[in-house]
Chain A
Amino acid sequence: MRLFRRGNEHAWSQSRLSHYVEGDLTRRERLRVQLHAEHCPECSRGIRALRALLRLAGSLGALENARAPASIFDRVRADAKAAARGGARAHDG
């Protein structure tokens, strides 16, 4: 594997942490982040923090009572009725 300058390597790794935790890097890129993170506390912490963030965000999924109200089609129904009364379709179909 090529040797990279430390500063460049850190910036490169930082810009890919989110892709890394998502498993969205090539094998070579993934290894490159891993090798750097083994010696870089900042990138290593970044990986752990992003994993925690994704777990937390995933846990927000279940909103209580996030059900569409029964009135959700009211405008569609009114529009269809108005079109029927006018004798012409209101939409493009």
Chain B
Amino acid sequence: MSPVLAPSRSATTEESTLVSRAQGGDVAAFEQLASAHTDRLYAVVLRLVGDRGEAEDVVQEALLRAWRAIGRFQRRAAFATWLHRIAVNEANRTLGKRAQAGNSVPIDDESLKLSAPPHEGPARTAERGELRRSLEVAIAELAPPYRTALVLRDIEGLSTRDAAAIAGVGEAAFKSRLHEARMRVRAAIGDAALLAAPS
């Protein structure tokens, strides 16, 4: 089941109160509201930009933009969706600047270090590590709209509806981007490597 961004009913009441207080200028309420989402925001942005320092910068900037714009938040979407959309836009702005400067997305092995499954032998771990590395490289080479689609849906596991809302496109357009992203990554890794992957 896909993780959802919408809060439960009891959380909605609390969120609504915090939004009202933040809209009245209460910075502590804004922090309380946003802090429930900052770890996930950071993880998504880190996946998009590939560097911890840059991810922190992007999330800080996104939070600042959200704080300054909270007065215009009309609650048509969940606060988490709205916040993620601001962060993804900010990450894509950063990637756009980087592309203009002719730099690609860094693949920082330490930044993107993964937990190894327990009880996995060294050969299996090495094989899995190599495949994941190939996947990281293939994702890093995707253009930002495709990378965003794949990260939100296939890595973060968000529902198509939430992921499309965060990407700022309709569900049909989002599915089309996701399909294209998957086909490009599949081509980059190769079917032979994918089919030999430990399950």
Contacts and interface: CB of A to CB of B under 8 A. Distances in A.
A92 B56 contact: no
B183 to A, nearest CB: 7
Nearest to A42: B191
A54 interface: yes
Interface stretch (A4-12, A27-35, A64-72): A64-72
B183 A72 contact: no
Nearest to B68: A91
Interface residues on A, range: 35 or more
B56 A69 contact: yes
A18 B27 contact: no
Contacts of B39: 66-68
B22 interface: yes
A27 B91 CA distance: 38
Nearest to B72: A92
Contacts of B155: 57-58, 60-61
Nearest to A21: B182
Interface stretch (B7-15, B41-49, B77-85, B94-102): B41-49
Contacts of A62: 114-115
A72 B66 CA distance: 13
B61 A75 contact: yes
Q: Which of A49, A65, A89, A91 has the most CB of B within 10 A?
A: A91
Interface in B121-167: 128, 131-132, 135-136, 150, 154-157, 160
A89 B61 CA distance: 18
A50 B25 contact: no
Interface in B27-83: 27, 30-31, 34-35, 38-39, 41-43, 46-47, 56, 59-61, 63-64, 67-72
Contacts of A24: 160, 175
Nearest to B70: A93
A83 B25 CA distance: 10
Given A48-B195, A57-B155, 20 more contacts: A18-B178, A18-B182, A19-B175, A45-B195, A52-B194, A57-B135, A60-B114, A60-B155, A61-B156, A63-B43, A63-B46, A63-B113, A68-B56, A69-B56, A71-B56, A73-B60, A91-B25, A92-B70, A92-B72, A93-B23
Interface of B: 22-25, 27, 30-31, 34-35, 38-39, 41-43, 46-47, 56, 59-61, 63-64, 67-72, 112-115, 128, 131-132, 135-136, 150, 154-157, 160, 175, 178-179, 182-183, 185-186, 189, 191, 194-195, 197, 199
Interface of A: 15, 17-19, 24, 45-46, 48-50, 52-69, 71-77, 79-80, 83, 89-93
